[in-house]
Amino acid sequence: MNPRLLRTLAFVVLIGIVFAASCATFGHVG
Amino acid sequence: MSGDGSNKQPYAPKSATRYGGRGAGPGRHAPLARATPAEGVPPKSALRFDRNGQRRSRFRKRSWLLILAAFPLVFAALSSLSAGNAIGMAVNLGLFAMFAFATFLIQQGGQAEDAYLDRTYASPPATPRKLIGSLVVGAATALTGLLGWEIGLIQSVGLGALAAGASVLTFGLDPMRAKGEISLSGVTPQMVEEAISEAEERIEGIERAAADITDQPLRDRLSRITARSRDILARIEKDPSDLRRARKFLKVYLEGALEATRKYARSQHELGDSEMYLKFRSLLDDMQGTFDDQYEKLLTNDRIDLDVEIDVLAERLNRETVLQ
């Protein structure tokens, strides 16, 4: 796989996980 | 490096002096150290420069997005505060601070890596900041899952591990090995450092002697020669594979220029000899041409055919009356 594509996918996964966890925490509190 | 039992300071690569690592300490300021984009040469992907010639951080946008993704934790903290839950507020703020700290570490690691890539000879950074930052991202995600989202321990740990792995893939690992210590041409970092120090002393000697010369055109020629010499030194530091030949070149030419300049400066008022003036000027013109020529050869990585040129110039330096 293209290394750049892999890095981009990894970045998307990372941001997705962090954002989901943060939003879920906010939703849980709210 | 080699243990020769002397009292000399151990060699400290310039990347090590700022980012720690073996031999780190207050480093000497090296005016030659800055890598600048050469004209007409497209920069490599790892060597991106902005308009001011400063290296652009490769991770700035991505790392800021990481903080942005964690921002709902701040809103969660405010919600907790409005609900009167101080502990909840502290926990959420603490989690956000962990993400911010991880981002900071990753950015620092990126800068350290850029400094490492800049150099031909470099030690790896003392602490692998990018790796530690990625681990902190994983820990922060796991704790967010456990304390904020409340999804259970195993799921939190799994989520944290996934986030850490994704972070490592995104930002990469830190450089772990020193580069340039073992050279196929047998050139060591200490040899480079010594050659450059010697040459720099000679260049400064020429500049001091040139300051005593009253004739402006001669001073201009000498300043061009010293500027070109510094270009050559910068080139050698970037790519020391031709050090042996370049060192001999610098030693003979710079030594010759230094001696000639000192003697001319001492005797310029005594004799008022126009023939001596013309010979010295002609010598400087030829040296300037040869320096420019050698610098071009270094840039294009041609082998420097020094032996003949050095012999010719050495003979000429001996022959010229200015050296007698």
8 Å CB contact between B50 and B56: yes
Instruction: Provide the ipTM.
Output: 0.94
Local confidence pLDDT in tens for the 324 residues of chain B? 333 444 444 444 444 444 554 444 344 433 344 444 444 444 444 445 555 555 555 667 788 899 999 999 999 999 999 999 999 999 999 999 999 999 999 999 998 888 787 766 667 788 999 999 999 999 999 999 999 888 889 999 999 999 999 999 999 988 887 766 555 566 676 677 777 778 888 999 999 999 988 888 889 989 998 898 888 888 777 777 767 767 777 788 888 888 888 888 887 776 556 777 888 888 888 888 888 887 887 777 655 555 556 667 767 766 664 544
Does residue B183 lie in a domain region?
Answer: no
The token duo for B311 is 């012999």
Whether residues B166 and B215 share a domain: the answer is no
Q: Which sign, positive or negative, has the C-alpha torsion B17, B23, B25, B31?
A: negative
Contact B202, B269 (CB under 8 A): no
Instruction: Tell me, yes or no, whether B277 lies in a domain.
Output: yes
Q: Which of B68, B86, B66 is nearest to B77 (CA)?
A: B86
Residue A20 CB neighbour total at 10 angstroms: 17
Instruction: Examine the domain organization and report whether B130 and B209 are in the same domain.
Output: no
Pairwise CB contact (< 8 Å): A21 & B137: no
Range of the domain at A10: 1-30
Residues B85 and B111 in one domain: yes
Q: What's the whole-number mean pLDDT along residues A5-29? A: 92
3-state secondary structure of B151: coil
- Are residues B21 and B134 both part of a single domain? yes
What's the rounded Cα separation, in Å, for the pair A27 and B150? 11
Q: To which residue do tokens 């101080």 refer?
A: B86
Direct distance between the N- and C-terminal alpha carbons of chain A, in angstroms, rounded to an integer = 42
- Verdict on whether the full-model pTM lies above 0.80: no
Question: How far is residue B225's CA from residue B291's CA, in Å, rounded to a whole number?
Answer: 7
Number of domains in chain B: 2
Report if residue B210 sits inside a domain.
yes
CB B171 within 8 A of CB B130: yes
Residues B22, B137: one domain?
A: yes
Number of domains in chain A: 1
Domain with B127 in it? 14-171
Q: Give the gap in angstroms from C-alpha A19 to the nearest C-alpha of chain B.
A: 5
Q: Do B163 and A23 touch (CB under 8 A)?
A: no
Q: Which residues of B touch A29 (CB under 8 A)?
A: 76, 79-80, 83, 85, 88, 92, 148
**Closest chain A residue to the Cα of B160, Cα to Cα:** A17
Mutation for A interface: B147, B149, B162, most A CBs within 10 A: B149
3-state secondary structure B155-170: HHHHHHHHHHHHHHHH
Tell me the two tokens of residue B188. Answer: 């060591």
| B177 located within any domain | no
Please indicate whether, in this complex, the C-beta atoms of B65 and A10 are within 8 angstroms of each other: no
